Copies of this chain bind each other. A is one copy, B any other.
Amino acid sequence: MQLGMVGLGRMGGNIVRRLLAAGHHCVAYDRDPAPGAELAKEGAQAVADLPAMVAALQAPRAIWVMLPAGAATEAALVTLAGLLSPGDVLIDGGNSMWKDSIRRGAMLREKGLHFLDIGTSGGVWGLSRGYCLMIGGEAEVVARLDPLFQALVPGKDSAPPTPGYAGDPRAEQGYVHAGPNGAGHFTKMIHNGIEYGMMQAFAEGLDILHHADSPALPAEHRLTLNLPEITEAWRRGSVVASWLLDLTAQALAQDPKLEGFSGHVSDSGEGRWTVDAAVASAVQAPVLAAALFARFASRDEDRFSGKVLSAQRKGFGGHLEAKKG
């Protein structure tokens, strides 16, 4: 099949590579010409602008936009909507807010265009492992593009079968048609929310292991623990075995005290939107919220809330937690 790819960063570029490897034809565009030139050497057709991409594809076209969520994605979708013909498909494979995808689906439908919102998980490993895709949109459109998805996902053999599973066989390949527009990005948002919680669970547990020799503990209770060995052992047979554990063990193997990191952690939209979604539907999500707030706290240089506590403590108890003079 043919696919146009707009945005040739780490994700977009590797998706093109995986499609090329499966024999598909890819038309590639990025405002920076370098990655397109690189992909051209690998078999892609690089184009200089969006009109050239539209011209290079046969109708009904499929164009995948893989850009930062927000203004960049909005601009590309709007521009392409003006260039495409009825029946063409636009795909947003980035980390867009699911409500935007509902809105964009309706907007494109009015122009006779189809829209798929695809949450894409796999990161830098997707090229070799395959990508997990969470797709929102019309069933017929998903079916039409199935050959592309088949090329991108890890495939059935990448995990043992689930006894009793009787749903859509696509899920056993590593992708899911989650529902109408919005459902793909909603599902990806929750995936990332869970990811935040799992990551923080590991982070806290390892932090306790790391402090098991704290001088604040009674001497007879202090333990000096080897985190690279412990995480490596957990990878086999334990309940916490997971890809995140594999990555954690790998990082600790290479830097046992993780001294190469600052400890300041960024967050992206999905973790925040997950908390908003929990609040909106009155679902308790204390772990997902705590994981998000831990990231905020890691970057809180101002410490205003701590200052309020210190001011109160000084007020009632005369405790001094003042700045060093």
Contacts and interface: CB of A to CB of B under 8 A. Distances in A.
Interface string A228-261: 1110111111111111111111111111001111
A250 B162 contact: yes
A163 interface: yes
A66 to B, nearest CB: 14
Interface residues of A, number: 162
Given A236-B174, A297-B284, A260 B322 contact: yes
Contacts of A226: 167-168, 176, 178-179
Contacts of A288: 201, 204-205
Contacts of A295: 306, 309
Copies of this subunit: 4
A68 to B, nearest CB: 14
A187 interface: yes
Leading 9 A-B pairs by shortest Cβ distance? A263-B303, A197-B201, A242-B242, A247-B315, A174-B236, A263-B306, A251-B311, A176-B233, A132-B237
Given A242-B245, A294-B305, 17 more contacts: A99-B221, A153-B237, A163-B254, A167-B228, A172-B236, A174-B236, A186-B225, A191-B234, A199-B312, A203-B306, A217-B281, A244-B316, A258-B310, A272-B279, A284-B296, A286-B290, A295-B306
